[in-house]
Chain A
């Protein structure tokens, strides 16, 4: 069983469209994250949720809206997609309250044309 699973793995879409990426973890962790990895492999945190509550919200455009229906799921919805949104988006969940060991999903490669 995959610990942190993301769907879809690839997403190709036109500018201006709205798209969602789903993430689920079966590790029983309370905290989940979304990261964006750009073409230079730089990994930047976007959001973090702890037990369905938003705890980290980095400087991210309002077009990005995370939603956590329960602590095992953290979805990312993106409105009005732009060329600069093209990247690999990684979901992660965190083990432990103090240790901050993160387990990553396989990533979603988003290409905006």
Chain B
């Protein structure tokens, strides 16, 4: 069965601090990996995705993620967070039809 684990449930950072959110997945076969962001009161939006190729993926708003196959990980990073990055971040993994989401990490950025 596929599963996605996000180790940090709630992260509090000051503006300009660096961010790394952990994500590990369990999936049989070729996996597609995603990070979605949910701003307060809004719907989920795609932040970035990995299908194949370069394991370092760049997304919107300065976010990037690195796929490390040997560790079954897809951690999200940003060198310098802003107050506007306050949101819930969801890692997801899946194949052809179904995507499994992690339980989310709430990021709070303090000005």
Q: Which residues of A contact B (CB under 8 A)?
A: 4, 31, 35, 40-45, 48, 50, 55-56, 90, 92, 97-107
Contact = CB atoms under 8 A, between A and B. Distances in A.
A90 B44 CA distance: 9
Please classify the interface of chain A as helix (H, G, I), strand (E, B), loop, or mixed, using the class held by over half of its residues.
strand
Nearest to B106: A41
Interface of B: 32, 34, 36, 38, 42-46, 49, 51, 88, 90, 94-101, 103-104, 106
B90 to A, nearest CB: 6
Contact of A107 (B43, B49, B99, B104): B43
A25 B6 CA distance: 30
A41 B104 contact: yes
A104 B104 contact: no
B96 A98 contact: yes
Contacts, number: 56
Dominant SS among interface residues on chain B: strand
A100 B44 contact: no
Contacts of A107: 43
Given A40-B103, A100-B94, 14 more contacts: A41-B38, A41-B103, A42-B103, A43-B90, A44-B101, A90-B44, A92-B44, A99-B32, A100-B95, A104-B45, A105-B43, A106-B42, A106-B43, A107-B43
Contact of A56 (B46, B90, B98, B101): B98
The 7 closest A-B pairs by CB, nearest first: A43-B101, A104-B44, A104-B43, A41-B104, A106-B43, A42-B103, A100-B94
A100 B103 contact: no
B32 A100 contact: yes
B45 A100 contact: no
A107 B45 CA distance: 12
Nearest to A107: B43
A48 B104 contact: no
Contact of B104 (A31, A43, A99, A105): A43
15 contacts: A4-B43, A31-B97, A41-B88, A41-B103, A42-B103, A43-B44, A43-B90, A44-B101, A45-B98, A50-B97, A100-B94, A101-B34, A104-B45, A106-B42, A107-B43
